[in-house]
Structures are given as structure tokens and as C-alpha cells.
């Protein structure tokens, strides 16, 4: 293989477009995407046979992906009873938001305390990139823009990335996934009219300005507002 090809492969990898070196990882990514996007609804039974047909692979990669997802909390597993998409309920949402605020408050404070120049620059960069793409792919009706979703996630992760604990960072990312799923479930119902860009900018500026209390306060409000929108747009989620 030519060196140029290698570099190209690497680049696309980093861009998140070329998913996986192994079938199991590829299925993991696709399944994860389908759950997060709501394409596979909460409580849905995940039969081996069905998934094999859907993703055109054998038994083992499917099973491997499901096991990984169950550890992420996106899928539930019961011995001898197989797998399901994790249930979603209003109570779970409240618990999720609460936990997320607890953990991210710590992470953000630590990041602001310990973050170095690289962290600041990465944060500014993340915001800039996010500001350059529209939330919806379409102008009139809302269509999820995968690029925005990706950059949005990257921004929030960049905020916390200097917290000094890979454990905490991983947990925040996991809760982020969960919250994203609820957001997508809500989007099906209501078009989100809200200028999140200003909120993100305010957070970015408070963080780079090393104003921890202000930044945390903004972040909490941000999540509380998001949760409010989700609450309003959905009375109850299917949980079976």
C-alpha cells in the first residue's frame, strides 16, 4: 500500500467517516447511531436474526456489538433473554439530567482550574467550528445535521477535557450519549427553535476567562433548558 493511501485512510478516520477496522466495531458504530438517532426506538427487541439481516454480517459481530452497547447503557441484556434497546421514561430523563449536572459541574470546575493553553485554544476552535454549521440540514423543516451533532458533542467534550480524570470524562461522554438520544426522541415531535449558539459562546468565554462559577451556572442552565424542551415535547416515552 502506498504511503499516500495510508495518510488518506488516517485522515478519514479522524474525520469519523471511515468507521472501523473490524466488523464488530463497525456494527457497534452503526447500531449506536441507530439507537441515538431514535431509528431503533426504546424498548425495541434486538433479535440476532433481525440484526444479521439489517447489517449483513454474521452472528459473532452482532453479539459483540450488543455486549459493548449494554455496558454503555444503551442496550439492556438479560441472560437467556437477549437484548433490548434501553427503555426511556420521564423518570429516567430526570435522573439523567440530575446526574449529568452533578458530574459536569465538577469536571468543568476542574478543567477551568487546570486547563492549559492548549485546552483554551482547543475550546475556542471547537466553538468556531460549531458556529460554522447549521443545526438543521434543511431550511424549512428540521432535518438532523450529523455534522452539527458531531461538532456539538466535540464542543461539550472540549469544555471538560482538561478535568484531569479520564474516568470522569468517560462518564460525562456516556451521559452525553444518553441525553442525545432523548434529544433526538424529542426532535421527532417538535422543531427546536432556540439559539444555542449564544449559549455556547457565553460558556466558551466564561471558561476561557477562568470564571468557574459563571461557566458552571451557564452550563447548568443550558442543560436545564434542554431538558425543559424535551419534557414539554414529550408526555411519555414508550418503555416496553
What does the block give as the cell for 27?
Answer: 456494527
Shortest spacing between CB 118 and DNA, in angstroms? 30
* Residues 122-151 within binding reach of DNA (CB under 7 A): none
Candidates 11, 13, 16, 58; binder of DNA (CB under 7 A) is 58
How many CB atoms lie under 10 A from the CB of residue 45?
Answer: 12
Q: Applying CB under 7 A, does 49 fall inside the site for DNA?
A: yes
Q: Applying CB under 8 A, does 164 fall inside the site for its own copies?
A: yes
Q: Applying CB under 7 A, does 22 fall inside the site for DNA?
A: yes
Measured in whole angstroms, the distance separating CA 131 from the mean position of its chain's CA atoms is 18
Region from 77-85, 182-190, 195-203, 209-217 binding DNA, contact rule CB under 7 A: 77-85
Q: Applying CB under 7 A, does 201 fall inside the site for DNA?
A: no
Paired residues of 83 in beta bridges: 46, 77
DSSP collapsed to 3 states, the chain? CCHHHHHHHHHHHHCCCCCCCCHHHHHHHHHHHHHHCCCCCCCCEECHHHHHHHHCCCHHHHHHHHHHHHHHCCEEEECCCEEEECCCCHHHHHHHHHHHHHHHHHHHHHHHHHCCHHHHHHHHHHHHHHHCCCCECCCCCCCECHHHHHHHHHHHHHHHCCCCCHHHHHHHHHHHHHHHHHHHHHHCCCCCCCCHHHHHHHHHHHHHCCCHHHHHHHHHHHHHHHHHHHHHHCCCCCCC
Shortest spacing between CB 45 and DNA, in angstroms? 6
Shortest spacing between CB 67 and its own copies, in angstroms? 4
Shortest spacing between CB 100 and its own copies, in angstroms? 8
Shortest spacing between CB 230 and its own copies, in angstroms? 17
State the binding partner of 82 from DNA, its own copies, none, CB within 5 to 8 A by kind: DNA
Region from 69-77, 132-140, 198-206, 228-236 binding its own copies, contact rule CB under 8 A: 69-77
Candidates 30, 52, 68, 150; binder of its own copies (CB under 8 A) is 68
Which residue ranges make up the site for its own copies (CB under 8 A)? 20-22, 25, 60, 63-64, 67-68, 70-73, 79-80, 95-96, 98-99, 102-103, 106, 164-168, 171, 175
Which residue ranges make up the site for DNA (CB under 7 A)? 21-24, 45-49, 57-61, 63-64, 77-83
Amino acid at each position: 500500500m502506498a504511503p499516500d493511501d495510508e495518510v488518506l485512510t488516517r485522515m478519514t478516520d479522524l474525520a469519523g467517516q471511515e468507521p472501523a477496522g473490524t466488523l464488530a466495531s463497525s456494527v457497534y458504530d452503526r447500531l449506536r447511531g441507530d439507537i441515538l438517532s431514535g431509528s431503533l426506538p426504546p424498548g425495541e427487541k434486538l433479535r440476532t436474526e433481525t440484526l444479521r439481516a439489517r447489517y449483513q454480517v454474521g452472528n459473532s459481530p452482532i453479539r459483540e456489538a450488543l455486549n459493548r452497547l449494554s455496558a454503555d447503557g444503551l442496550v439492556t441484556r438479560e441472560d437467556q433473554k437477549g437484548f433490548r434497546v434501553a427503555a426511556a421514561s420521564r423518570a429516567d430523563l430526570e435522573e439523567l439530567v440530575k446526574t449529568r449536572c452533578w458530574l459536569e459541574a465538577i469536571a468543568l470546575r476542574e478543567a477551568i482550574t487546570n486547563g492549559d493553553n492548549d485546552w483554551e485554544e482547543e475550546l475556542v476552535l471547537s466553538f468556531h467550528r460549531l458556529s460554522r454549521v447549521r443545526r438543521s440540514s434543511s431550511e424549512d423543516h428540521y432535518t438532523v445535521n450529523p455534522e452539527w451533532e458531531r461538532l456539538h458533542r466535540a464542543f461539550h467534550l472540549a469544555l471538560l477535557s482538561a478535568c484531569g480524570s479520564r474516568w470522569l470524562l468517560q462518564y460525562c461522554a456516556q451521559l452525553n450519549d444518553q441525553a442525545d438520544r432523548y434529544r433526538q426522541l424529542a426532535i421527532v415531535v417538535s422543531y427546536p427553535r432556540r439559539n444555542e449558539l449564544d449559549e455556547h459562546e457565553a460558556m466558551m468565554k466564561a471558561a476561557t476567562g477562568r470564571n468557574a462559577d459563571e461557566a458552571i451556572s451557564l452550563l447548568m442552565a443550558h442543560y436545564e433548558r434542554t431538558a425543559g424542551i424535551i419534557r414539554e415535547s414529550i408526555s411519555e416515552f414508550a418503555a416496553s
